[in-house]
Structure 1
Amino acid sequence: MDARRDEESAIASAPLLAAAAASRSGSRSHAADAHVLSAAFLFVFSAYSAAQNLESSVNADGDLGTVSLGILYTSFTLFSVVASPVVTRLGTKRALVVGTSGYLLFILANLVPTWYTMVPASLYLGFTASIIWVGQGTYLTSAALSHAREHNLPEGPTLGSFNGEFWGMFASTQVIGNLISLALLRNGKDRRMLLIIPLIAYSGLQQAFVWAVFTKSIVTPVLGISGVGGAMAIYGASDVVCSLVAGRLTSGLHSATSIVSVGAIVQAIVLFWLLLFYSPMDGVLGAAIPLFIGALWGVGDGVLNTQLSALLGLLFEDVKEAAFAQLKVWQSGAIAVIFFLSPSITLQAMLILMTTALFISFASFLFLTLVVEKSSTVRP
């Protein structure tokens, strides 16, 4: 049984390039093949991400772009059910090659976008996407385990290292694709986006603050690990209610400005309180304070989530795909910053960082809505 498993693993982790086999005993290694895999996905998905982000704008006639994406992901879902046996039959190398062909065909179809080109290309991409991702996971795991065995390394950290490199490279596709989208925000919209990016980034910072800092440094010392669930449930409930209310109250740019201001002020109060006055307390009051903080923070999060989406729709109606692409790339980057920083800086330093980011982002936002957009055609 073990011999069969080792044989299957060796087949699954066979080198991606023919040259690799000849030099396996030399400097070439499974790690080098992981570099090749990561780079290949970077190039393929940089092109595909940019095409997907702009699909509904470029192919707007008859909603060809959005319908094509709907067909693509429906096909992806259905074919994922049978992807595993297909990859097993093809082998991981062939699965990766066949999977790449779907992305290339979809990009080529966009050069002559009609129902007769986009629909078949979307169906085919759904199939190939299902097998490329099964092939990727299978190959990377097998290569990592083989690398660990060959070099007498622990399997867990090796798997983490291989996957970290791959997903780090893959995340770069969004940066590259969204920089292209940012370049399309012309005719005065580069200025609008630059002024709203700080608020977008802050929305990511404040979300990660709750996940990484609030639970660890404020809730756990008072309520223990068991109290984290309750505090986050209150935060989530507050978030839901404020999202619904803020959405109902939004009628235009002026109302969005007022609602964002309320959320920013609430979070500023919490940050100043934590920075200047807060210290853990015993008793019922001490236990209630983290829950109250969670509820207040949920107000700000609910407001920012609803109003940022509304603002992007109001300010970038004609290039909304590029605008919403920027929303995700800056939010995600800001979230990553908090997770990387939180283990190495104090709570006080994190609170100062958050307070500074809030003031800069809110000032930039007010300048955009009250000065730059004063003569805008967007109606309140």
Structure 2
Amino acid sequence: MANGACDVRVYNIIILGLAFMFIFTAFQTCSMVEKTVLDSVGKSNNDTNNTFTGNGYTSLGIIYGVFSVSNWAAPSFVGYVGPKLSMIIGAVLYLLFILSFLKPMEWALYLGSVLVGFGAAILWTAQGSTLTINSDTETVARNSGIFWALLQCSLLFGNMYSYFVFKSKSVVTDTERTDLFIGLSSAALLGIICLFLIRKRRTSDAENLVNLNSSGSQSADTALSALKRSFQLLKTKEMIYLSFAFAYTGLELTFFSGVYGTCVSHNLHFGAERNGLLGLSGIFIGVGEILGGGLFGLFGKRTNTHGRDPIVLFGYLVHMLAFLLIFLNMPSNSSLVDSAEATYIESNKYVALVCSFLLGMGDSSFNTQLYSLLGYMFPEDSAPAFALFKFVQSIAAAAAFAYSIFLNLQWTLLILVITGTVGQYCFNVIEWSSSRSLHDGYVSID
């Protein structure tokens, strides 16, 4: 393979990672502060005529609900438009949603949520295509690791910015909200510009690509075939078991990306710095994600020596510890309203930040191993398998945002404990089954 071809591939992967880092610096920061920001609309100016009633949880629930449904249409869209243009269109929809926070209006909030749900589906489908086109069997793991590391950096930068904007503020003023979302919109725009810089690869260099069935050259017929195969896979024992693990990742995604940050900012025991802690919480989640991704993703060959199940068990135990500490450290109604309700231990901001780190570490443990197991078990059906993963995950995330509107924190944590236990067990059942098949000679891998 020519060195020039290698250079273009590496260049494209780095540019892709940087683009997603900027786009999700904007969006992930937005999702973590959305509930807090919208609850503050009108309060800072004592505006008694303020009629805005938009709800952050409802908005995020709409996003993931539309995302789950749109996963089935996205392959056809990307196949017709092409991966690069699809990513640009998807990123523009993200930008429009973030711009709507400059002047919150209920109709714009919910319309933007619908658009982002569809934009997310085509953005991630096209991302898979771009990663595939620029990888081969020897570089796909490395390229995925590079992309993961750059993507997770988005949790650091945006939340660091929001920390300094909200520091020592008990209410987010209109001016502070405007400053934050101008900054986030600029980051999203920078990500869109990066997408324009992705280069085309020459077709003569396309040997030995990993067949993820997601190339932009795939026709709508191929996308339809992948859709049919997805429904067939959904009926298998392996996918039914794994769906419980998929669902858990969706529920805990909702918790760490929306609910937990709201609990931190609503906890009146933290005083005037509680909104600043919201940004710090996001930073510590990002550190946990990056560290976990590095340990279990980039260095997977070493950490997977004893199988995937010990890593998932580790992630499960880390999450259970985090849920216990959050239960003890946070007021039970802090996920819904500002609260000074008594807690089982004296509310401690350092414990809150440790919990943020544990949430990120546990999430990376589950997700890296699910990606690894799906790629291992379904090498010929990876696109349908990953479509099912995203579908179940996003349905669960949407459901979690729906019940988070009215459930107190302890009930949300109980749901996570139960589903996490079931999801971890079901993952292990399939992991052990696949390991036995390999030992008995039924499965062959490189």
Q: TM-score range by the shorter chain?
A: 0.5 to 0.7
In the other structure, the counterpart of 2:416 is 354
Amino acid at match of 1:209: F
- Within-5 A mapping of 1:1-380: 49=74, 51=76, 72-74=82-84, 156-159=105-108, 180-185=228-233, 190-218=236-264, 220-221=266-267, 222-223=269-270, 224-251=274-301, 254-275=306-327, 279=343, 286-371=348-433, 373-376=435-438, 377=443
CA deviation after TM superposition for structure 1 residue 190, in Å: 1.9
Task: Please tell me whether the aligned partners of residues 325 and 355 of structure 2 are also in contact (alpha carbons under 8 angstroms).
Answer: no
Amino acid at match of 1:216: T
- Give CA deviations for 1:44-92 in whole Å, capped at 9, x if unaligned: x898535478x7xxxxxxxxxxxx98xx2345679x7xxxxxxxxxxxx
Whole-Å separation in 2 of the counterparts to 1:182 and 1:208: 25
Moved more, 357-366 or 271-280: 271-280
Amino acid at match of 1:203: T
In the other structure, the counterpart of 2:41 is none
| Other structure's SS at 1:374 match | helix
CA deviation after TM superposition for structure 1 residue 208, in Å: 1.1
TM-score after normalising by structure 2: 0.47
CA deviation after TM superposition for structure 1 residue 304, in Å: 1.8
In the other structure, the counterpart of 1:86 is none
Amino acid at match of 2:396: A
Aligned length: 249
Whole-Å separation in 2 of the counterparts to 1:359 and 1:317: 28
Change (3 A) 1:227 1:205: same
Whole-Å separation in 1 of the counterparts to 2:284 and 2:121: 35
Change (3 A) 1:169 1:286: closer
Change (3 A) 1:212 1:157: closer
Whole-Å separation in 2 of the counterparts to 1:201 and 1:211: 15
Q: Return the structure number with greater relative CO, CA threshold 8 A, min gap 6.
A: 2
In the other structure, the counterpart of 2:61 is none
In the other structure, the counterpart of 1:25 is none
Task: Please tell me whether the aligned partners of residues 227 and 384 of structure 2 are also in contact (alpha carbons under 8 angstroms).
Answer: no
Change (3 A) 1:160 1:286: closer
Change (3 A) 1:225 1:367: same
Amino acid at match of 1:49: A
In the other structure, the counterpart of 1:88 is none
Task: Please tell me whether the aligned partners of residues 267 and 296 of structure 1 are also in contact (alpha carbons under 8 angstroms).
Answer: yes
| Other structure's SS at 1:310 match | helix
Amino acid at match of 1:198: F
CA deviation after TM superposition for structure 1 residue 311, in Å: 1.2
**Structure of higher CA gyration radius:** 1
Task: Please tell me whether the aligned partners of residues 263 and 300 of structure 1 are also in contact (alpha carbons under 8 angstroms).
Answer: yes
TM-score after normalising by structure 1: 0.54
Change (3 A) 1:311 1:52: farther
Gaps of 5+ in 2: 1-69, 97-103, 125-222, 331-342
Change (3 A) 1:52 1:370: farther
Task: Please tell me whether the aligned partners of residues 264 and 275 of structure 2 are also in contact (alpha carbons under 8 angstroms).
Answer: no
In the other structure, the counterpart of 1:38 is none
Task: Please tell me whether the aligned partners of residues 253 and 311 of structure 1 are also in contact (alpha carbons under 8 angstroms).
Answer: no
Amino acid at match of 1:217: C
CA deviation after TM superposition for structure 1 residue 274, in Å: 3.5
- Give CA deviations for 1:147-206 in whole Å, capped at 9, x if unaligned: xxxxxxxx94455566677888999999x97863422438xx822111111111111211
RMSD: 4.2
Whole-Å separation in 2 of the counterparts to 1:276 and 1:47: 41
Task: Please tell me whether the aligned partners of residues 71 and 391 of structure 2 are also in contact (alpha carbons under 8 angstroms).
Answer: no
Amino acid at match of 1:73: P
Q: Which has the higher helix share?
A: 1
Whole-Å separation in 1 of the counterparts to 2:281 and 2:329: 20
Task: Please tell me whether the aligned partners of residues 235 and 295 of structure 1 are also in contact (alpha carbons under 8 angstroms).
Answer: yes
Change (3 A) 1:366 1:321: same
Gaps of 5+ in 1: 1-44, 56-67, 81-128, 138-154
In the other structure, the counterpart of 1:102 is none
Amino acid at match of 2:256: V
CA deviation after TM superposition for structure 1 residue 211, in Å: 2.1
CA deviation after TM superposition for structure 1 residue 237, in Å: 1.1
Amino acid at match of 1:350: T
Whole-Å separation in 2 of the counterparts to 1:286 and 1:163: 36
Whole-Å separation in 2 of the counterparts to 1:227 and 1:363: 34
Change (3 A) 1:378 1:230: farther
CA deviation after TM superposition for structure 1 residue 281, in Å: 5.6
Whole-Å separation in 1 of the counterparts to 2:299 and 2:121: 37
